Chain A
Amino acid sequence: MSWLLVLIKSALLLFVVITTFAYAMLFERKIMGWMQLRPGPNRVGPWGLLQPAADAVKMLFKEDLTPSTADPLIYKLAPFISLVSAFGAYAIIPWSEPRPGDIWSIGNVNAGILFIFALTAIGVYGVSLGGWASGSKYPLLGSVRATAQMISYELAMTMSVIGVLIVAGTTSLAGIVHAQQRIWFVIPQLIGFAIYFVTAVAETNRAPFDLVEADAELVAGFHTEYSGLRFGLFFIAEYVNMLTVSCVATLLFFGGWNAPFGWTFIPGIVWFILKVLFFIFCYIWLRATMPRFRYDRLMAFGWKVLLPVATLNLIATAVVVAVKG
């Protein structure tokens, strides 16, 4: 009956992630509002708490348009590729470990972090195919930008994460968290963490790296032509990706469910959620503060700054580990 258990876990997690997405969106609008001296959404329900429901209803009932120049099959397929790759990561993210050896996750893959990279790689297709299939020039430009940006930053991201893998000596996410019981990897891998954080923002196409959307130049980038539910799927995918990179940052650099200062009286899952929330807050904070990069600067930054620094960090980590071990 293990498959039934997995199914129940998946359904539960799907529900949790969707709800988290909805409230992450509200959280973002609220925080952004406060940072811009506005109250944020406050009309639907108390303090605007029912705003996600209103948005969902609106999105579901909007007309789903397909442009006449679009390639209908790919156009319809692309949002699903985005969504599936965004949700796939949650199959292996470990949430907590209430008792030693009893890890809360759907599946514990040994090559966990690599699996997440694989899914990120698939996620690029949703963006690039969607932009191409829209059959109009802004989405095409947006998708070409997105493809180049995501591939470029994925390299630096992988490099920064490999440092952690070297220190932890394992690719399993749970194993990495176990290795952080004494000290969180953000301290020995501070440069790695900084690079991961920056590349994660770029990877999820959020401000200040939202060149893909760049409202001022590209209307809305790759999803300009999308409307209704299909737009909603892209939208969900973007936020779920943000949650994913926050979860991964927590697992790799902030000790996962390990309690800081030995405050173990608060359960690990709470710590995990708090840390993820902190990262989401940081993303929103960045978005409210930073202006958008210029595209050539973005590529130059990725290839000429982040990648070399990440590689140097990797080499230094390897040398230190080799000398000490």
Chain B
Amino acid sequence: MKNGVPRGRMRKHLYNVGALFRGLATVFGFMFMRKPTIGYPSVKKQHAPRFHGLHELRRYGDGKERCIGCELCAIACPANAITVIGAENTPSDRRSPGERYAARYEIDELRCIFCGMCEEACPTDAIVLTPRFEMSDYRRGSFIYAKDRLLVPPEAGVGTPPDERPGGIPADLGEVAEIKSTTDIDKGYSATYRGQILKTQRRGLAG
């Protein structure tokens, strides 16, 4: 016996035939085991609370946005998925407690690798990754999440996910003005195209 295999040609053959039947028995036993499969659309898996899923922009208790438009998340992002364009708060329109707020905040979820660096980079804990993961859609353009879908609505408190708010996600995302301004959904998504638009817009805002 060497490694459990008997010596000799005939005995080895017999051993192999036995192995066939042991294999069959193993597989037969598998038939009655509990199946680890989750019936996904009807039964959903509960992810860990710190699972890296869809982002959300949070607020303070008084309803002010946490984001101060510092762009640290955009700089930290290894996939260049985040675009932030800040603007000054005015006394009449205070969006955030600081001097600036994010006039435009967009995350391209197709580029995002869900690493959570944005979360770590954020000085005010504004951007967080929620455990939600169901974002599929037929149009590439709809994967660019702007503030309207990222920001927790004021009436929902500080951290309720946007798609649980009373109105839900707008039915036709293509008509959301914010996205329309940066991408042409009908033409299809183009990162370069979008980048160019953003660059000119940023230049315009800066100048």
Contacts and interface: CB of A to CB of B under 8 A. Distances in A.
Interface of A: 31, 34-39, 42, 285-286, 288-290
A34 B37 contact: no
Contacts of B27: 35, 285, 288-289
Contacts of A37: 30, 33, 35-37
Interface string B7-47: 00000000000001001101110111101110100000000
10 contacts: A34-B30, A34-B31, A34-B35, A35-B27, A35-B31, A37-B33, A285-B27, A285-B28, A286-B24, A288-B27
Contacts of B23: 289-290
Contacts of A36: 30
Contacts, number: 32
A289 B24 CA distance: 6
A38 B35 CA distance: 6
A288 B24 CA distance: 9
A290 B24 CA distance: 8
Contacts of A289: 23-24, 26-27
A288 B23 CA distance: 10
B105 to A, nearest CB: 39
Given A285-B24, A289-B23, A289-B24, A39 B31 contact: no
Contacts of B24: 285-286, 289
B35 to A, nearest CB: 5
A34 B31 CA distance: 5
Q: Which 8 pairs, one residue from A and one from B, show the smallest C-beta to C-beta distance?
A: A289-B27, A34-B31, A35-B27, A35-B30, A289-B23, A39-B37, A35-B31, A289-B24
B39 to A, nearest CB: 7
Contacts of A286: 24
A310 B148 CA distance: 76
A209 to B, nearest CB: 14
Contacts of A34: 30-32, 35
A39 B35 contact: yes
B37 A38 contact: yes
Given A34-B35, A37-B33, A39-B39, 15 more contacts: A31-B31, A34-B31, A35-B31, A36-B30, A37-B30, A37-B36, A37-B37, A39-B35, A39-B37, A42-B39, A285-B24, A289-B23, A289-B26, A289-B27, A290-B20
A269 B156 CA distance: 67
Interface string B107-144: 00000000000000000000000000000000000000
B41 to A, nearest CB: 9
A27 B70 CA distance: 60
A93 to B, nearest CB: 28
Contacts of B30: 34-37
A38 B33 CA distance: 10
